[in-house]
Amino acid sequence: MTSIHLNEHTIQQYVITGVLAGEEQKQHLLHCNYCRGRATAYKEVLAGIEGQSAPSFDFDLPALVMQKIPAKKPAISWRAVLVIAGLLVVMSLVTYNLRGVFGAVFKGLSLMTSSLIFIAVISVMIFQLVDMFNKYHQQTNALD
């Protein structure tokens, strides 16, 4: 049996894993009151640590956090899609009913001129719609 006391590291590892490196160390621990006392102290320390109750927040954390998280809007608003589709249907019906009037207006113009006017009007409308959509989003984000 070795007369050299086990070092702190060996004793800690023994207490945590229950394993000692060699027979000499086992024999030493068996017969050395001093080292057994230190091992017992470490066992008490570990038992004390593990015996502690886990702390918990005394407030409803999920509820508090959820209040601060903005509700995500779906990527596509189906209501907006329905409104746009409805508007398109109404515009198509109006255009179809007034086709005679439009025909009279564009009668004197060449195909090229009519096409240019048509493209210009559609482009302006698209720009206006995109701008309106962006402003709407900015305002809703500002409200959030």
Partner 1 sequence: MALLKADSAEDRYLVNLVLKGDNSAFATIIRNTERLVAQIVFKMIGNTDDMKDLAQDIYLKAYKGLPSFRFRAVLSTWIAQIAYNTCLNYLEKKKYALLGDWEGTAGDDTEETDHIPNTPVALADKEADQSVLQKQRTVIIHQAIETLPPLYKTLITLYHNEELSYGEITSITGLPIGTVKNYLFRARKALKEQLLKQYTKEEL
For partner 1, the binding residues (CB under 8 A) are 5, 7-9, 12, 33-38, 40-42, 44-52, 54-57, 59, 61-62, 64-66, 68-69, 71-74
Least distance to partner 1, CB of residue 95, Å:
38
To partner 1, the closest distance from the beta carbon of 74 in angstroms equals 6
- Tell the smallest beta-carbon distance from residue 117 to partner 1 (Å): 43
Q: Which is nearer to partner 1, 65 or 143 (CB)?
A: 65
CA dist 42 and 21 (Å) reads: 18
One-character DSSP codes across 74-126: PSS-HHHHHHHHHHHHHHHHHHHHTHHHHHHHHTTS-HHHHHHHHHHHHHHHH
DSSP 2: -
When the beta carbons of 46 and 93 are compared against partner 1, the nearer one is 46
Tokens of 26: 């086992």
